[in-house]
């Protein structure tokens, strides 16, 4: 199969930034609850942090190594970096303009005030001065810069202040500059007492307090300027798993260095002097393109907690109670219900509790002899992990495949691995060179003298908190063929030997890619033969060139293709003669769209697969992933009716991708407003 030419593909890095624009549009949407708009603004900052820590860091590494490798769309690393820098600067400027000119004023209209230093009255100024001496000054360590005090090591994403000084200190020194690091334990936003603030919710930024009183740290000297700054560093961990004998120990040794990787971005307050900005850039070995001057706090992520602190339900999304499948609501014996037939769970509209019940009941059930589970992301206080620990303590054979290289969850996973090992569970770290990203749990139970398998397969993580925030499907099944495949997959991961042929599951790195391409090609052949053919696929990202080539060929054969891609999509839709039958949309709303669904019309005998994998190179070839079929006709209809059709109909939170890679928000025109997530909430949940 010929791969797509570069001019038919969209750049991955620019596609990621385009997604951040769609998230930022949520913060700019007046129909959104106001505190949720603030939260979306913070989410953009968090996403951008990771983008720089990983994606921009990777580009810089390529540039440093003088790499000539071009991206799929034909750009060199330097060309990509220039395009990314220009786009990112514009995005950040738009973000702060929205923060200052819309979010802050509108919050003030609703009684939530961020009180700036220039607006403190005498009572507020006195309270803040007392707060500085009581809470801040004892834990601040100013570092004067001179030959005895070189520029300090600055932690990744920490808040710091560069201070310009004049005069001489007690030792006659006059370096002219100092750095004050704000300890991470200090809150970045402080709530004033109501009687001091003069309103119910009055907040002051830590940076404002320190700016007002930084002179107290440099007695007898004059502060000429005080500027916030924050440096973002390369946070990708390098562990040579081919050379490492103990992956967990190697990773534990590498984690502390994440805070001090090579600098990739410098953020400073907009009032920072040109000389100080140049000085800081030199300290971090950065160029002018790496500088981001921001009109406000240099770390908006730390405002993420403000909506939780403000008790204003009218300014937030309405709470809801996730539904329980009727069968599970009637009977507490989850195994009896699974034996009656497969159970489909649609999170967050349906509760994650049945998954917890499945593992907890198995852990406590004397008839259960063995449990196996994959762990990618699960949280620091996971009931599921506690249940597995309890199962191991009670003598069950417990095997847990812990993915230690789950980015930014490495430390939590290391801790769970250690706790599981302490109680006798078998803990393995997957396969060298392949992340274990599949979401699988297997329970083996003795019934009437025979062993029977039960399984849970999902599109999302075993993480109860994100199950309230991400859309995902899960399947509880006792189907002999599927559970046998799950068992084989665990044996393959934990043991050694050739990959056996699975009956029902598609699996990377062996069959998932070839099966997806074959299914697309089958639709192409059906269309060429004049038979019903269509493809609908929903996922986070589409980048893999061979899949894109197959989709282009299917479009040319007349296959109607609808792609619901939340994030980056390298395919260009709507190009005459190439992709005019392909439509790409992205839905961005209250919940993070995380479901992977692959639908093939198959001449009328519809096939529906759910998966843990996006259509990306890494998912197909460098990860252990699964795709699993929905065999029950009623459940298949549910997946189509809940997971696909509403998103194709959405005209509120949907964005249509244009052939040049830009996105246009779908407008209601004369049609009635229809939001997929709102409709699913109404269909499946109960209001509080």
**pLDDT tens figures, 7-54:** 999 999 999 999 999 999 999 999 999 999 999 999 999 999 999 999
Would you list the DSSP string of 617-629?
HHHHHSEEEEEEE
The residue that leads in pLDDT, 592 or 435, is 592
CB 540 within 8 A of CB 563: no
pLDDT of residue 494: 85
pLDDT of residue 380: 77
Q: Would you put residue 590 in left (φ > 0), alpha (ψ -120 to 50) or beta?
A: alpha
pLDDT of residue 410: 67
Cα distances from 572 to residues 15, 202, 552, in angstroms, run 11, 48, 9
Find the DSSP H helices in 394-464: 410-422
Rounded Cα–Cα distance for residues 116 and 6 (Å): 50
What residues contact residue 667 under an 8 Å CB cut-off, 6+ apart? 651
Domains of the chain and CATH, by start: 6-315 (3.30.1840.10), 320-503 (3.30.870.10), 507-687 (3.30.870.10)
Report the side by side order of strands in the sheet with 177-181.
141-144, 177-181, 160-166, 222-233, 263-269, 291-294
What string of H, E and C letters represents the secondary structure of 132-148?
A: HHHHHHHHCEEEECECC
Rounded Cα–Cα distance for residues 418 and 248 (Å): 9
CB 135 within 8 A of CB 206: no
Peptide bond into 334 cis (omega under 30): no
Tokens 């607006």, located at residue = 119
How would you class 521 by CB atoms within 10 Å of its CB: exposed for 0-12, middle for 13-18, buried for 19 or more?
Answer: middle
Find the DSSP H helices in 343-409: 353-364, 383-393
Rounded Cα–Cα distance for residues 320 and 351 (Å): 11
Structure tokens at 159: 């808040």
**pLDDT tens figures, 461-489:** 999 999 999 999 999 999 999 999 999 99
pLDDT of residue 140: 92
pLDDT of residue 402: 85
The average confidence (pLDDT) of the chain is 91
**pLDDT tens figures, 427-452:** 888 777 788 899 999 999 999 999 99
CB 606 within 8 A of CB 636: yes
Alpha-carbon Rg of the chain, whole angstroms?
27
Q: Range with the lowest mean pLDDT among 95-109, 280-294, 374-388? A: 374-388
Torsion of CA 281, 287, 293, 299, to 10 degrees: -70
Residue 195's pLDDT band (cuts 50, 70, 90): very high
pLDDT of residue 236 exceeding 90, the answer is no
Within 10 Å of residue 592's Cβ, how many Cβ atoms?
A: 18
State CA 174 to chain mean position distance: 46
**pLDDT tens figures, 611-654:** 999 999 999 999 999 999 999 999 999 999 999 999 999 999 99
The H-or-E segment that residue 177 falls in is strand 177-181
Peptide bond into 314 cis (omega under 30): no
Residues in the chain: 688
For the question of residue 437 being annotated catalytic, the response is yes
Strands 291-294 vs 263-269: parallel, antiparallel or unpaired: parallel
Within 10 Å of residue 79's Cβ, how many Cβ atoms?
A: 15
Query: Per-residue pLDDT averaged across 215-236, rounded?
Result: 90
Q: ∠ CA 680-684-688 to the nearest 5 degrees?
A: 105
Query: Per-residue pLDDT averaged across 263-270, rounded?
Result: 96
Q: Which of 437, 456, 463, 522 is catalytic?
A: 437
Residue 241's pLDDT band (cuts 50, 70, 90): very low
Q: Range with the lowest mean pLDDT among 337-341, 454-458, 665-669? A: 665-669
The one-character DSSP state at 673 is P
pLDDT of residue 244 exceeding 50, the answer is no
Structure tokens at 505: 């599951």
What residues contact residue 441 under an 8 Å CB cut-off, 6+ apart? 355, 358, 359, 371, 372, 373, 374, 455, 456, 462
pLDDT of residue 496 exceeding 80, the answer is no
């Amino acid at each position: 199969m010929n791969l797509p030419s570069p001019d038919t593909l969209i750049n991955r890095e620019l596609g990621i930034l385009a997604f951040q624009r769609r998230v930022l549009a949520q913060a700019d949407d007046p129909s959104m609850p106001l505190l949720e708009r603030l939260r979306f603004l913070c989410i953009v900052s968090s996403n951008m942090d990771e983008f720089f820590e990983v994606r921009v860091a990777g580009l810089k590494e390529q540039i440093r190594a003088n790499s000539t490798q071009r991206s799929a769309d034909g750009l060199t690393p330097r060309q990509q970096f220039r395009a990314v820098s220009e786009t990112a600067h514009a995005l950040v400027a738009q973000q702060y303009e929205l923060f200052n000119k819309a979010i802050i004023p509108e919050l003030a209209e609703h009684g939530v005030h961020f009180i700036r230093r220039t607006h403190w009255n005498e009572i507020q100024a006195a309270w803040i001065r007392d707060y500085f001496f009581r809470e801040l000054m004892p834990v601040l360590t100013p570092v004067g810069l001179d030959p005895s005090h070189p520029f300090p090591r600055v932690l990744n994403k920490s808040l710091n202040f560069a201070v310009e000084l004049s005069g001489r200190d007690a030792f006659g020194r006059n370096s002219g500059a100092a750095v004050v690091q704000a300890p991470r334990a200090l809150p970045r936003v402080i709530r004033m007492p109501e009687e001091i603030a003069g309103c119910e919710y009055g907040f002051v930024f830590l940076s404002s307090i320190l700016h007002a009183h930084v002179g107290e740290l440099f007695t007898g000297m004059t502060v000429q300027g005080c500027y916030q700054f924050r440096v973002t560093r390369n946070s990708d961990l390098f562990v040579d798993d081919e050379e490492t004998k103990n992956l967990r120990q190697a990773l534990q040794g590498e984690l502390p260095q994440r805070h001090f990787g090579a600098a990739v971005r410098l953020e400073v307050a907009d009032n920072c002097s040109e000389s100080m900005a140049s000085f800081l850039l030199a300290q971090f070995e950065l160029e002018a393109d790496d500088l981001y001057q921001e009109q406000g706090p240099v770390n908006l992520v730390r405002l993420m907690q403000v909506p939780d602190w403000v008790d204003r339900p009218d300014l937030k999304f309405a709470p809801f109670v996730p539904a329980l499948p009727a069968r599970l609501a009637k009977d507490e014996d989850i195994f009896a219900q699974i034996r009656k037939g497969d159970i489909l769970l649609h999170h967050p509209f349906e509760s994650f509790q049945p998954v917890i019940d499945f593992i907890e009941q198995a852990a406590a059930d004397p008839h259960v002899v063995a449990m196996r589970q994959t762990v990618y992301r699960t949280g620091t206080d996971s009931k599921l992990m506690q249940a597995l620990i309890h199962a191991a303590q009670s003598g069950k054979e417990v095997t847990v495949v812990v993915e230690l290289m789950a980015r930014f969850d490495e430390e939590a996973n290391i801790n769970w691995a250690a706790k599981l090992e302490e109680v006798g569970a078998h803990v393995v770290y997957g396969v060298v060179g392949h992340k274990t990203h599949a979401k699988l749990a297997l329970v083996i139970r003795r019934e009437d003298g025979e062993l029977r398998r039960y399984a849970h397969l999902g599109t999302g993580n075993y993480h109860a908190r994100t199950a309230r925030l991400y859309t995902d499907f899960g399947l509880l099944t006792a189907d002999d063929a599927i559970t046998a495949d799950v068992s084989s997959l665990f044996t393959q991961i934990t043991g050694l030997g050739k990959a056996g042929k699975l009956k029902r599951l598609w699996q990377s790195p062996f069959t998932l890619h070839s099966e997806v391409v074959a299914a697309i090609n089958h639709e192409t052949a059906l269309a060429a033969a004049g038979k019903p053919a269509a493809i609908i696929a929903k996922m986070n990202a589409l980048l893999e060139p061979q899949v894109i080539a197959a989709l282009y060929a299917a479009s040319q054969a007349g296959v109607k293709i609808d792609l619901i891609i939340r994030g980056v999509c390298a395919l260009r839709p709507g190009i005459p003669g190439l992709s005019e039958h392909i439509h790409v949309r992205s839905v961005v709303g209250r919940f993070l769209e995380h479901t992977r669904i692959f639908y093939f019309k198959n001449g009328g005998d519809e096939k529906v697969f759910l998966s843990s994998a996006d259509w990306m190179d890494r998912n197909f070839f460098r990860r252990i992933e699964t795709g699993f079929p929905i065999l029950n006709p009623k459940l298949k209809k549910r997946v189509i009716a809940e997971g696909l059709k509403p998103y194709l109909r959405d005209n509120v939170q949907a964005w249509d991708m244009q052939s040049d890679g830009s996105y246009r928000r779908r407008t209601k025109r004369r049609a009635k407003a229809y939001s997929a997530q709102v409709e699913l909430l109404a269909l499946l949940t109960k209001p509080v």
